[in-house]
Amino acid sequence: MLACSLTCFAREETTDELKAKAEAAKLSEQAKLCVEIARRQLDAADKAYASGQMRDAQVAIKDVVSYSEKAGQAAQKSGKHLKPTEIELRKISRRLKDIKPTLNVDDRSPIQEAIDRLEHVRSELLMSMFSTH
C-alpha cells in the first residue's frame, strides 16, 4: 500500500528532465526515452496549433523530428527496441497526417517535412529489422 501511495504522489518528469535523462541514458534505453519526448512534443505542437501559436508549434515539431530521429538511431545502433520504436514512430506520423489538414495551407509545409523525415526513419528501422546479416 505504501508503494502505491508513493507512486500515486510521484510527479511526472518534465520534458526537459526527460531530455536530460535521455542524453545520460544507456544507448539501449535512449530509443524509448526519445520516443516519449517526441510524443510529448507532438502533444505540445497540437495544442499550440489549436491555440494559434504557430511559432511554438513549429519549435515543438522540430523536437518531434529530432527526437524521432534520435530514437531511430539509438534503436539501430543498440539493436534494441527496433519494432516498438517503428510502431511508435508510425503512430506519430499518422497523428501528424491528421493534424496537417486542420492547418492553413501556408502552415502545412513543416508538417509535411516532419512526416517525410519520420517515414525515412521508419524505412531505415524496417530495413534494419528485415535485413539479412
Q: Is residue 41 domain-resident?
A: yes
Instruction: Give the pLDDT of residue 5.
Output: 47
Q: Which residue has the cell 534520435?
A: 70
pLDDT digits (tens, 9 = 90+) for 31-89: 999 999 999 999 999 999 999 999 999 999 999 999 999 999 999 999 999 999 999 99
pLDDT digits (tens, 9 = 90+) for 93-104: 999 999 999 999
Categorize the per-residue pLDDT at 12 as very low, low, confident or very high, splitting at 50, 70 and 90. Answer: confident
Instruction: Give the pLDDT of residue 132.
Output: 60
Q: Is the pLDDT of residue 8 over 70?
A: no
Q: Is residue 5 domain-resident?
A: no
Q: What is the separation of C-alpha 105 from the centre of its chain, rounded to a whole number of angstroms?
A: 24
Please state the domain count of the chain: 1
Q: Is residue 1 domain-resident?
A: no
Q: Is residue 99 domain-resident?
A: yes
Q: Which letter, b or e, does each residue of 51-78 get, where b requires 16 or more Cβ atoms within 10 Å of its Cβ?
A: eeeeeebbebbebbbbbbbbbbbbbbee
pTM for the predicted model, two decimal places: 0.88
Q: Is residue 86 domain-resident?
A: yes
Q: Is residue 61 domain-resident?
A: yes
- Alpha-carbon gap, residue 123 to 133, rounded angstroms: 17
Domain ranges, residue 96: 28-130
